[in-house]
Amino acid sequence: MTLINEHYTEVNDTYLFSEISKRVSAFAAANPDKKIIRLGIGDVTLPLPTSVIKAMQAAVEEMADPATFKGYGPEQGYDFLRDAISADYKSRDIKIESNEIFVSDGAKSDIGNIGDIFSTDNIVLVTDPVYPVYVDTNIMAGRTIRYVGSNAKNSFLPSPPDFHADMIYLCSPNNPTGSVMSREQLKEWVDYALKNEAVILFDAAYEAYISDPELPRSIYEIEGAKKCAIEFCSFSKTAGFTGTRCAYTIVPKILNGRTKPGGHLPLNRLWNRRQTTKFNGVPYLIQKGAAAIYTEEGKREVRDMIGYYMGNAAIITKALSKAGITFYGGVNAPYIWLKCPSGLSSWQFFDKLLNEVNVVGTPGAGFGKNGEGYFRLTAFASRENTVEACDRISGLINI
């Protein structure tokens, strides 16, 4: 009698983006003539940088020749990519060794799988609103989750709570609120983690969108963070890899977890064991593409790409300001988090936007209790569509 993991019965079956997709499909089927513009799911639209394309073309050629063909690679990633990432941290005065870097197929995978190395007895802390993966993966594992409210009162940048937690998920620039932690704010959390002997799971998937040098792009800019934090980074939003799949996770070698008898074990060793046992690395040709991002040409292209999306963000925030709508984010972050006008609920505003002006966004309520009454727009559409969507939204709101 094969028993299932009972905790799977505890997760909500309706995943936010499936529900959005269902409503949009129904609308599109009923209104085939309408042009729907999507500022909802955070997917990119610009093609891959030329340097990445060139590197992948060359790598495909290598796979066609027995002399250069590549079979199994290291589960942790090729040295050429790990070294490039390490050098990039070094250029920002952060010392991360190559063997503290684990290349993977996505931050979502790593954020989901990292739970493997931790006890299910740990208390999890998330801020609400929250990226649903932090919550769902921990419900599936049977962990207790405690919430810290992220709301207008704290400008969606909550401080650590007065209760204890063992595993803390933080995301900055934040998905969904677009808020970005200052060094002082992040230090508060690092201090809290050190005091509680907790681990911070720091989701830095949007770090490349930070242009203000005063804001931390890596948690390791904060003193003591290597003793308490794992950092998740991704090429998805940095270089348009959402459909190309490459990311990396930093597990510092001095970061320990506690064993039941009271000893310490390096989490780097545990994560290495997890990845070598349940993963076989990222395709060689994808890693070659990712490495190209660190060339001079690649860096320039990535800057341009991010500049383009942040130009979209500026267009959105300008339109919202003009319409008198309260919002957060859109600066140093590709997400714009707005307060639904006229006291509408998140899903009411979703339906209104979809039905009346055919623009798709993401209802804040889908991210948690504190998201109710809020709505997320993203800067990842094309310029043309962003401008048109803003015109439509402005027209709707000013009526």
Positions 193 through 222 that interact with a second copy (CB under 8 A): 196-199
Residues in the chain: 399
What is the smallest separation between the CB atom of 200 and a second copy, expressed in angstroms?
A: 10
Q: Is residue 129 within the footprint of a second copy (CB under 8 A)?
A: no
Residues 369 and 128 sit within 8 Å (Cβ to Cβ): yes
What is the smallest separation between the CB atom of 23 and a second copy, expressed in angstroms?
A: 18
Count Cβ atoms within 10 A of the Cβ of residue 198 and give its class: 0-12 exposed, 13-18 middle, 19 or more buried: buried
Residues 146 and 198 sit within 8 Å (Cβ to Cβ): no
What is the smallest separation between the CB atom of 55 and a second copy, expressed in angstroms?
A: 10
Q: Which is nearer to a second copy, 191 or 351 (CB)?
A: 191
Q: Is residue 8 within the footprint of a second copy (CB under 8 A)?
A: yes
Q: How far is CA 73 from CA 70, 96, 321, in A?
A: 7, 22, 50
Q: Is residue 108 within the footprint of a second copy (CB under 8 A)?
A: yes
Q: Is residue 92 within the footprint of a second copy (CB under 8 A)?
A: no
Among 98, 99, 109, 151, the residue binding a second copy under the rule CB under 8 A is 109
Among 27, 28, 70, 191, the residue binding a second copy under the rule CB under 8 A is 70
Q: Is residue 79 within the footprint of a second copy (CB under 8 A)?
A: no
Instruction: Go through 269-295 and write b for each residue having 16 or more CB atoms within 10 A of its CB, e for each that does not.
Output: ebbbebbeeebebbbbbbbbbbbbbbb
Among 157, 282, 292, 315, the residue binding a second copy under the rule CB under 8 A is 282
Residues 310 and 54 sit within 8 Å (Cβ to Cβ): no
What is the smallest separation between the CB atom of 155 and a second copy, expressed in angstroms?
A: 29
Distance CA 64, CA 60 (A): 7
Q: Is residue 60 within the footprint of a second copy (CB under 8 A)?
A: yes
What is the smallest separation between the CB atom of 246 and a second copy, expressed in angstroms?
A: 8
Positions 300 through 339 that interact with a second copy (CB under 8 A): none
Among 28, 133, 194, 314, the residue binding a second copy under the rule CB under 8 A is 133
What is the smallest separation between the CB atom of 161 and a second copy, expressed in angstroms?
A: 16
Distance CA 101, CA 176 (A): 26
Tokens of 313: 């963000």
